[in-house]
Chain A
Amino acid sequence: MSVLVFADTSEGKYKKSAFEVVSYGKKVAEQLGSSMVVLSINAESPQDLYAYGAEKVITVSNDSLANFNGKAYASVINQVAQKESSNVVIIDSSIDGLYLAPMLAVKMEAGYASNAVALPSSTSPFTVKRKSFSSKAFNNTVIATDNKIVGVSKNSFGVHENPVSGTTEAFEPALSDADFGVKSVSVDRAKGKVSIADADIVVSAGRGLKGPENWGMIEELADVLGAATACSKPVSDLGWRPHSEHVGQTGKPVASNLYIAIGISGAIQHLAGINASKVKVVINTDPEAPFFKAADYGIVGDAFEVVPALIEKLKVFKQS
C-alpha cells in the first residue's frame, strides 16, 4: 500500500501546487504508516521534488501528453496506482485536477473529496475537511471506499520542505486512441502575467475605479507586488476588463494569501468567490461597504489618492 501523489507541471516546470500536494501527501503517508510515491508527467527536473519528501518519483515522458488531457492523464495515474498498489491518491484542486480526478475516481472505484483544506482528521474512517457552500462552510467528508482520492485546495496546507535523497523511475504507460477522444487544438496563455489561480497576491478592482482607463494604477500595483489582477462582476459585464478576470461565485474563485479589493462594495456573490483568501484588504470611499465586514484591514479613502500612494510606499518598502 502507498500514497500516490500527482505532481502537476506547466510547460515542464512544477506548479507551486505540486510542492504543496507532495508536502501534503508525505503527511498523509505518515498518518497511514505507509510510503509515498510521486508521479510526474513530462517534468524537466523531477529531483526538485526530493526537497519536499519525495523518496520515489515515477516519471512519464510522452509527447502525446505534452498538453494536458483529462482522460489520458487519469489513465496514466490509474496505471501507476495499480503498479504501486496505491489506494490513496492525492492531487491538487486546480482546473486540471478537477478535470481529471472524477474520471480517475470512476476508474479506481474510489470516493473522491475535492477542495480539501486540511489533512485527514481521521484515517479510520477516512475523514477530510473540504470547502462547501462556496466557502461559506466546510464539510467533513468520510470516504468509505477502499480506494480514496483527495483533491487539495490551493494554499490550504502550504509548502513544507522535508529534504530526502530520492530516486526516479521511468514508467511507460499504455495509452490508446480511446484516451484521446478529446484533442487539444491550441493553447492561448497570457504571457508574462501572473494567473489568478497561481497568484499568492491578487489585486482586484470594481466600479469604484469609474472606467477602464483608470486600470493603469491597478496593474502597476499588481506589478509591484508580483500579483495577478482581477475585477468584480459589474466591471467584466461592462466590458472594462476581460471575463477571465471576473472573480466571484460564477467567476473565478480566489484562494490567495492576500486579496486587495479596491472600489468593490462586496456583494455576497463576490465574497463567495474570495472567502478562501487568507488576508483581505479593502480600499473604499464608503465606510458602510459590506466588504469591510469581511476584511482584515481596510482604508476608507479615495482609490485615486490611496492607490498611487500605496504604489510609491511599496516601491520604497521593496527596496529596503
Chain B
Amino acid sequence: MKILVCISHVPDTTSKINFADNDTKFDTNGVQFVINPYDEFCLTRAMWFKEKQGATVTVVNVGNASTEPTLRKALAIGADDAIRVDVEATDGLAVAKELAAVVKEGAYDLVLAGRESIDYNGGMVPGMLASLTDYNFVNGCVGMEIDGTAVSLTREIDGGSEKLSTSLPLVVAGQKGLVEEKDLRIPNMRGIMMARKKPLAVVAGISAAAATSAASFEKPAAKGAVKLVAADQIDELISLLHNEAKVI
C-alpha cells in the first residue's frame, strides 16, 4: 500500500498571532513552525499501517524551502521519503490541485490529511483533493481499519459518531481519535540522523490558480476586563447573565 500524508507547515499552537504589511500578511517574526497537529495524527496512523500491515509512507507539502525542516521532522518520525511542491501555498483550491497532481503521479492508495490546518482553518483541501482525483473521501475521521482494499471508518458527527465503509483509493481527513495524542511519535536521535539521508524531492508544481485570496487580516476587538462576582453573590451573576449579557 502506498500512503501519502499531506503535511501543513503551521505556527506552533502557542504562537502570538500578528500581521505585517498593513495587516495583509501573517507576521512570521519569532514564530516557530511545526507539523499541523491534525496532520500529526494522520502521520502516526500511517506509521502504524507501515509497521503492522506493510506500506510505504511519503509526506508532501506545498510551499517554499522554508517548510523543509517540517518535512524533515516528518521523515524523522518515520516517513520513507518526502516531496516538496515548490509553489507558494495560496488558497485551498490551488493547494488541492497541486496535491492532486502529486497523487495522480504517484498513484497512491491512501491519502491522509488533517481535517484542517490550524492557521487558515479552511478545512477544504482534503475534500477538494478527493474530488479532483475522484478518490473516495471521509472527513473528520476518528477511526480507520484497512483489510485489502476494503476500509472501515468512524467519523465524528454532531452528538455522536458514524461508522462507514468504503474502498481504496481513498482520501481521509483525520483528527484526534485516528490515534490518541499520547501515541503521537516524537522523533528520536536515530530518526533525526536517518532523516538527513532520506530523499526529499523538490518538484516544480503546476502553478494552479487560486480561487480565493486573503485581502486582509484583523484581530478580535480588545476585550474588556473580567467582571468578578463574589462567590456568595450568585444572584448577581445570574442577573448579569440575564439582563446584561442576555444569554439565559
- On B, residues with C-beta under 8 Å from A are 11, 13-14, 17, 19, 26, 37-38, 91-93, 96, 115, 118-128, 130-132, 136-140, 152, 156-167, 175-177, 180-182, 210-220, 223-224, 226-231, 234-235, 237-238, 240-242, 245, 247-248
Contact = CB atoms under 8 A, between A and B. Distances in A.
24 contacts: A103-B130, A105-B127, A133-B26, A134-B121, A136-B220, A138-B220, A140-B216, A141-B215, A142-B213, A143-B211, A145-B211, A183-B165, A188-B160, A190-B160, A195-B158, A246-B176, A249-B118, A268-B13, A278-B247, A279-B247, A293-B226, A296-B227, A309-B234, A317-B242
Contacts of A10: 158
Contacts of A140: 214-218
Nearest to A256: B247
A139 interface: yes
Q: Which of B165, B212, B216 has the most CB of A within 10 A?
A: B212
B81 to A, nearest CB: 27
Given A106-B128, A137-B220, A243-B177, A297 B241 contact: yes
B164 A183 contact: yes
Interface string A134-176: 1111111111110000000000000000000000000000000
A272 B248 CA distance: 24
B215 A299 contact: no
B137 A103 contact: yes
B33 to A, nearest CB: 13
A102 B126 CA distance: 8
B127 A103 contact: yes
Contacts, number: 265
Contacts of A106: 93, 96, 127-128, 131-132
A114 B123 CA distance: 8
Given A133-B17, A138-B220, A99 B229 contact: no
B151 to A, nearest CB: 9
A258 interface: yes
Size category of the A interface is 35 or more
Given A125-B215, A185-B152, 10 more contacts: A70-B139, A115-B122, A134-B13, A136-B219, A139-B216, A183-B166, A186-B163, A251-B176, A268-B13, A275-B220
Given A102-B92, A114-B123, A137-B17, A144 B211 contact: yes
A250 interface: yes
Contacts of A257: 247
Contacts of A243: 176-177, 180
Q: B127, B132, B245 — which one has the most chain A CB atoms within 10 A of its CB?
A: B127
A279 B131 CA distance: 39
B200 to A, nearest CB: 27
A48 to B, nearest CB: 19
A13 interface: no
B227 A313 contact: no
Chain A binding surface, main DSSP class:
mixed
Contacts of B19: 137
A298 to B, nearest CB: 5
A273 B117 CA distance: 14
Given A141-B214, A268-B13, A269-B13, A195 B159 contact: yes
Contact of A133 (B121, B126, B137, B158): B121
A111 interface: yes
A203 B29 CA distance: 37
B158 A95 contact: yes
B128 A132 contact: no
Given A137-B19, A140-B216, A96 B157 contact: yes
B157 A297 contact: no
B228 A181 contact: no
Nearest to A275: B220
A134 B120 CA distance: 8
Interface stretch (A27-35, A79-87, A212-220, A300-308): A300-308
B238 A313 contact: yes
B17 A136 contact: yes
Contacts of B125: 102
B240 to A, nearest CB: 6
A42 to B, nearest CB: 16
Contacts of B140: 95, 98-99
A294 interface: yes
Contacts of A258: 241, 245, 247-248
Contact of A105 (B26, B128, B166): B128
Given A139-B120, A258-B248, A297 B227 contact: yes
A25 B145 CA distance: 40
A64 interface: no
